[in-house]
Amino acid sequence: MIDLSSNLLGAAGAGSATAIALAALLLRLSLGGLFLAHAYLKYFVFTPKGAAGFFASLGVPGWFAYLTIAAETLGGIALILGFQTSLVALLLIPTLLGAATLAHGKNGFWFNNPNGGWEYPAFWAVTLLIQALLGGGALALTA
């Protein structure tokens, strides 16, 4: 554990085991909610058939869209519950790296570029790695 006692925030509890557990919980809930939102978008807005068509337009077999929707849904639920958090976070990283390279890579770095650059999905992949390293944190069913 890092000694932050000489830091103003450290004196208020930052860096403590409790603060780290709460940080892992907040990250886990945020990541899980984002995955559910993206699954919702693919299922209810784009539709699975439309998502499959988009994947095919990227040169990826269309059926990967169905796997992605399932991974985002099940992964999101698992993260929110804190079920096998570290493993689930690691398993979801390829989904974001695929999005960063295949769907957004040609659009440049900035996500506000037309059709979104790779900035956001790459950062999301890094947050998944951080979650995997932190574990589930507070209120997790398993690490």
- Is residue 143 predicted with pLDDT exceeding 80? no
| Nearest residue to 48 (alpha-carbon basis) of 74, 76, 70 | 70
Q: Is the dihedral of CA 46, 52, 57, 58 positive or negative?
A: positive
Residue 8 within any structural domain of the chain: no
pLDDT of residue 94: 97
Note down the domain range covering 99. 18-134
| Mean pLDDT computed over 43-68 | 97
Count: domains in the chain: 1
pLDDT tens column, 76-132: 999 999 999 999 999 999 999 999 999 999 999 999 999 999 999 999 999 999 999
- Tell me the C-alpha distance between 134 and 110, whole Å: 28
Residue 110 within any structural domain of the chain: yes
Residue 4 within any structural domain of the chain: no
| Mean pLDDT computed over 24-36 | 98
Residues of the chain with pLDDT > 70, as a percent, come to: 94
Residue 49 within any structural domain of the chain: yes
- Tell me the C-alpha distance between 16 and 32, whole Å: 24
| Mean pLDDT computed over 1-30 | 83
pLDDT tens column, 64-77: 999 999 999 999 99
Residue 60 within any structural domain of the chain: yes
Amino acid identity, position 13:
G
Long-range contacts of 47-54 (CB under 8 A, 24+ apart): 54/103
